[in-house]
Amino acid sequence: MSLASFAAQLLNGLASASSLFLVAAGLTLIFGVTRIVNFAHGSFYMLGAYVAYTVGSAAGAYGNSPTAFWWAALAAGAAAALVGALIEVLLLKRLYGAPELLQLTATFGVVLIVRDIALALWGPEDRIGPRVRGLDGALNLAGRAISEYDVFLLVLGPIVLVALTLLMRGTRFGVVVRAASENRVLAGALGIDQARLFTAVFALGTFLAGLAGALTLPREPATLSMDLGVIADAFVVTVLGGLGSIPGAFVAAVMIGLTKALCIAAGDVTIGPVTFAMPRLTLVIEFIVMAMVLLVRPAGLFGRRDAAPPTPAAAEERALVTRPTAAHAAAASALVGGGALLPFLGDEYALILTVDILIAALFTASLRLIAGTGGLVSFGHAAYFGIGAYASALAATHGYPFGAALALAPIAAAVAAAAFGVLCARLSGIYLAMLTLAFAQIVWSVALQWDAVTGGSNGITGVWPSGWLAERTHYFHFVLAVSGAGLAALVVVAFTPFGYALRGGRDSALRAGASGIDVAARRIKAIAVGGAFAGLAGGLYAFAKGGTSPEALSIPRSVDALVMMLLGGQATLFGPLLGAGVFTWLQDTLARATDYWRGAVGVVIVLIVSVFPHGIGGALAASWARLRGSR
Amino acid sequence: MPRFAFVLLTALTACAAAPGLSAQTIKLGEINEYKQFPAFLEPYRKGMELAVDEVNAGGGVLGRKLEIVSRDDNGVPGDAVRAAEELLTRERVALLMGTFASNVGLAVADLAKRRQALFIAAEPLTDKLVWANGNRYTFRLRASTYMQTAMLVPDALKAGKRRWAIVYPNYEYGQAATASFKQQMQAQQAAGIEFVEQAVPLGKIEPGAVVQALIDAKPDAIFSSLFGADLARFVREGELRGLFKDRPVFNLLGGEPEYLDPLKEEAPTGWFVTGYPWYAIDTPEHRRFRDDYQKKFGDYPRLGSVVGYSAVKTAAAALQRAGSTDTEKLVDAMRDLRVDTPFGAVIYRALDHQSTMGAYVGRTAVRDGKGVMVDWRYADGKDYLPPDDVVRRLRPTD
């Protein structure tokens, strides 16, 4: 590569970095103050792009007017801010007292709703914005053309950085925001109106997202998948830079932009006998960069370790605190017994759906052990599920009998989980969660690209249970037994000395350590045990579906687990089963009822979350307790 | 708590009690990734509707009306398998059809084999569907990745270029197109040939860097299998930086209205593409289809419309020929089945269950601020398949 082309690639990388920074700046602002992991940030970005397209088109193809594009961009930012503020006031405000992850679930519901609204308003076709008048040409730099608009973005990034820094350092608003980021309680005690502040910050953050969406329109068409397309990158930049740090987000965006550009520029790289296509790495390079940085600096580049102290969970939302009684055991037995009779109803599909629900419940319960009992939030739990699914599927296609192939699933997942646990034991909170996401994405990209072994994007097919289990009813009973045992084991383990020690480490790592508990070791063990059960669920899934594909490892599956866990209620014994049952059944039913089923699922999630902040299980338990009390 | 048991059981029995529809209709079970690929699949859905209306207006099939029961699989193979099971067990559909993504198509094909149900794969392009993973119960309508690549190869050979840059979305379709192109070019071009590659993450191309890297590679010609938003970004950035100047460019699927139309006046000119020039095809069967479609929906047909329409026509023809909804009879009827489509008659080959539906090959141009295909010809699918003995080796016996 010549020096000139290297320089040109640096510029490309910086232009992309600027546009990434704009999105991430809003996200990091919002998180810094409100501690909300705003999954819907990408939706505001998408909304911005569509609004800019519409306003621009209405203004008569803004290619014709020199200022129309800029008005369109501002309108897009304003529209996003308006919607953002509305969502904050109407939905999120109700949830600040609830478990932190519940807000994530709520914003996930918002993602689903916004996407379907966009489909209804703008239709399915990609919308390409015209080029910007005055910036539609190319500049010649040492014989290489670079788009004027890219140069504009490249300059805009630092300008926004400086503007935001001035806002944070030089205005009262900035001082208040920083105070609230440092210590919410103290800021409140000093008379800062948190409700107004949160709304303002949320509006500002979503304004930046909308603006970023609008500014990306000359480079990239508005599509219905740009919301989730950008959110993972934005999270990575935010976390890599250190949560709440705007300069950090800028540096992180530059790092990622440059690394990507250089991977693309490098092309095929030959080291000895091995030729590796570097551009293929662009699929996950941001996650690899983030993982490497977090392993060395557990709070990101500019984050402070104590910036986000874990808030101890309120009593009613701590997972599995009350020891199950004989009544619980009887109810569980009745459930399994009743379930075993299901085949006699004669509805084959009910069996298929129940198998899916049982597998999802086991998957969710395994997450609850890690995230609920262990307090270690995971955004990448699908990694273990997928590893289990692939292990079983690969073993089955290589001729191993069903039992051995299924047994391999929890083993492979536990090994991977333990290895991951050892690497990340020193991280906590949202940083740990992001590292789990990075791990899952890396595993996903390996599954996607290692064609010879994993079948690439097509995955593996032709994996079905053999022998007497080939009969649908038999496999149903098998899954019922295995999942039932797994669910019971995951409850029991929370009340062993190991479980108590784990909880001790969650509620106060310092005190637990002082009383002689090796907190890190317990955490690694929890991740390994949870991973094993997730892997078992994955193995059952592979045999139920006839194989697996990279979707088993994808971000949406990890999110599903979190949503199911919170829908069901973390603290309730039967929470995972309830959450998995409601979520799976809802998707299945709504998908048949309406074309806009995804939005409908979103609405239901938002409703459940705002009406029952402790999940369906929590609500049922509360009304049960009232019922008993009134007797 | 027995309450939970009660809730769960009520939920389960409630969904078990869905009322059955009239036994008079023949149900076609359709599964697709409507939410993942709406640009292609919304027109596809309309195409299906048009065909069902036509068939039913003509008295239906076997004296019964057709009814489509459609399911969205969310782009997840596991969900598609569940939807297929639901269609088979609860809706009692006569056959399965649809799917867009290759991984979903392969998963449903495998289920069809296991449950012994006919599956008419409408859109998935992967060669594996009818070759490496082919089975007795699966048939495919669309021209495969191999076939569409082969349609572009003659012109690529004529270009007589030595150094090719290949850019493709980094998943099965792009990888297979790239491999097919390299293999066919190497086999047929006498002079030495070399390739440089850029794999881009699907939907997330970094256009500036990719275009720059391609320029630096100094290729003589370009072969791309990008589509959708990636293609749009690649075109804009490539035009701006002069990547396409004096270089022939070949782009699989680039002429499909789904991907060409959003580009409007910025559509590339002079590219060799496969696609669908709906405005220019003047055969009687296509004219009739286009007129009916425009009358019904007030919109012009996209390629998806043709695929959806032809898939339903295939199902109707198979039912007619089999004289029954029995799967084994349907499968036998599908072998060498002739179906009239807007592209003319196609045959589902008994050899590998691939239909001979072709594609239009031509060059892109801009007319009245819109991207169009010019100098096009219809490439009949039957002319772009490997020799029969090669196919036999590729495909397991049923």
Q: Tens digits of per-residue pLDDT, B340-398?
A: 999 999 999 999 999 999 999 999 999 998 999 999 999 999 999 999 999 999 998 76
Separation CA A77–CA B376 (nearest Å): 44
Lowest mean pLDDT among A38-47, A616-625, B230-239: A616-625
Contacts by residues A623-629 (CB-CB < 8 Å, ≥ 24 positions apart): A624/B1, A624/B3
pLDDT for B284 equals: 95
pLDDT digits 0-9 by tens, B187-209: 987 778 999 999 998 888 888 88
pLDDT digits 0-9 by tens, A373-428: 888 888 899 999 999 999 999 999 999 999 999 999 999 999 999 999 998 877 87
Q: Does residue A375 come out as left (phi exceeding 0), alpha (psi in the -120 to 50 range) or beta?
A: left
pLDDT digits 0-9 by tens, A445-483: 999 888 889 988 889 998 999 888 888 899 999 999 999
Determine which helix (DSSP H) or strand (DSSP E) holds A386, and give its type and residue range: helix A382-397
Determine which helix (DSSP H) or strand (DSSP E) holds B163, and give its type and residue range: strand B163-169
pLDDT for A319 equals: 65
Q: Assess contact for A372 and A435: CB atoms under 8 A.
A: no
The alpha carbon of A417 is separated from its chain's Cα centroid by a whole number of angstroms, namely 18
The CB density around residue A355, as the number of other CB atoms within 10 Å, is 24
- DSSP letter at A609 equals H
* Per-residue pLDDT band at B16 (split at 50, 70, 90): very low
pLDDT for B1 equals: 40
Residue among A340, A292, A344 nearest A480 (CA): A340
Name the average pLDDT for chain B.
Answer: 90
Residue among B353, B386, B366 nearest B134 (CA): B353
Query: Does the distance separating the beta carbons of A350 and B16 come in below 8 Å?
Result: yes
Q: Beta partners for B138?
A: B119
- Substitution target in B204, B211, B305, B370 with the highest count of A β-carbons within 10 Å is B204
Residue among A203, A233, A210, A219 nearest A50 (CA): A210
Separation CA B369–CA B385 (nearest Å): 36
pLDDT for B20 equals: 41
Cβ partners under 8 Å of residue A322, min gap 6: none
Q: Which residues of B touch A221 (CB under 8 A)?
A: 229, 232-233, 262
Query: Does the distance separating the beta carbons of B242 and A348 come in below 8 Å?
Result: no
> Tokens standing for A125?
């076709």
Query: Does the distance separating the beta carbons of A328 and B1 come in below 8 Å?
Result: yes
Query: Does the distance separating the beta carbons of A137 and B4 come in below 8 Å?
Result: no
Separation CA A432–CA A86 (nearest Å): 31
pLDDT for B347 equals: 96
User: Measured between CA atoms, how close is A560 to chain B, in angstroms?
Assistant: 13
Helix or strand or coil: residue A241? helix
Percent of chain B past pLDDT 90, that is, above it, reads 78
Say which residue the tokens 């919308």 belong to. A127
Q: Which residues of B touch A331 (CB under 8 A)?
A: 1-2, 4-5
Separation CA A300–CA A292 (nearest Å): 10
Separation CA B100–CA B75 (nearest Å): 9
Say which residue the tokens 């292990």 belong to. A391
> Tokens standing for A162?
């400086």
Query: What would the 3-class secondary structure string for A298-365 be?
Result: CCCCCCCHHHCCCCCCCHHHCCCCCCCCHHHHHHHHHHHHHHHCHHHHCCHHHHHHHHHHHHHHHHHH
pLDDT for B6 equals: 47
Query: Does the distance separating the beta carbons of B208 and A261 come in below 8 Å?
Result: yes
pLDDT for A296 equals: 87
Residue among A557, A593, A599, A596 nearest A112 (CA): A599
Q: Assess contact for A223 and A126: CB atoms under 8 A.
A: yes
Q: Assess contact for A208 and A45: CB atoms under 8 A.
A: no
Q: Where are the alpha helices (DSSP H) in A244-310?
A: 246-266, 285-296
Question: What part of A 92-111 touches B (C-beta under 8 Å)?
Answer: none
- DSSP letter at A130 equals P
pLDDT for B204 equals: 86
Q: Beta partners for B370?
A: B367
pLDDT for A59 equals: 62
Q: A389 touching B, CB under 8 A?
A: no
Question: What part of A 223-262 touches B (C-beta under 8 Å)?
Answer: 223-226, 229, 260-261
Separation CA A356–CA A12 (nearest Å): 46
Separation CA A282–CA A286 (nearest Å): 8
> Tokens standing for A181?
């980021």
pLDDT digits 0-9 by tens, A145-170: 888 888 899 999 999 999 999 998 88
Query: Which residue in A has a C-alpha nearest to residue B257's C-alpha?
Result: A125
Separation CA A109–CA A16 (nearest Å): 29
pLDDT digits 0-9 by tens, A562-596: 889 988 888 788 889 999 999 999 888 888 877 78
Cβ partners under 8 Å of residue B212, min gap 6: A5, A8, A9, A12, A144, A264, A265, B241
pLDDT for A306 equals: 56
Query: Does the distance separating the beta carbons of B42 and A334 come in below 8 Å?
Result: no
Q: Beta partners for A138?
A: A147
ipTM, two decimals, is 0.85
Question: To 10 degrees, the CA torsion angle through B318, B321, B326, B332?
Answer: -80
Q: Which residues of A touch B232 (CB under 8 A)?
A: 126, 128, 220-221
> Tokens standing for A573?
């014994």
Q: A48 touching B, CB under 8 A?
A: no
Separation CA A93–CA A106 (nearest Å): 11
Q: Assess contact for B365 and B270: CB atoms under 8 A.
A: yes
Helix or strand or coil: residue A446? helix
pLDDT digits 0-9 by tens, A295-322: 888 888 887 765 454 555 555 556 666 7
Q: Beta partners for B379?
A: B359
Q: State phi, psi for A146 to the nearest 5 degrees.
A: -135, 140
Radius of gyration in angstroms for the set of CA atoms belonging to chain A, rounded to a whole number: 25
Lowest mean pLDDT among A85-89, A134-138, A537-541: A134-138
Say which residue the tokens 């009887």 belong to. A330
Query: Does the distance separating the beta carbons of B4 and A577 come in below 8 Å?
Result: yes
Separation CA B252–CA A628 (nearest Å): 68
Separation CA A578–CA A584 (nearest Å): 10
Half-sphere CA count of B259, side-chain side, radius 13 A = 24
Q: Where are the alpha helices (DSSP H) in B19-101?
A: 38-57, 77-89
Radius of gyration in angstroms for the set of CA atoms belonging to chain B, rounded to a whole number: 22
Q: Assess contact for B268 and B364: CB atoms under 8 A.
A: yes
Q: Which residues of B touch A581 (CB under 8 A)?
A: 8, 11
pLDDT for B30 equals: 96
Determine which helix (DSSP H) or strand (DSSP E) holds B165, and give its type and residue range: strand B163-169
Q: Which residues of B touch A224 (CB under 8 A)?
A: 38
- Substitution target in B82, B227, B243 with the highest count of A β-carbons within 10 Å is B82
pLDDT digits 0-9 by tens, A200-252: 999 999 999 999 999 988 888 898 888 888 888 898 999 899 888 899 999 99
CA distances from A347 to A287, A436, B147 (A): 45, 39, 43
The pTM assigned to this predicted structure is: 0.88
Q: State phi, psi for A458 to the nearest 5 degrees.
A: -75, -25
**pLDDT higher than threshold 80 for residue B13:** no
Query: Does the distance separating the beta carbons of B81 and A546 come in below 8 Å?
Result: yes
Lowest mean pLDDT among A272-281, A527-536, B272-281: A272-281
pLDDT for B189 equals: 78
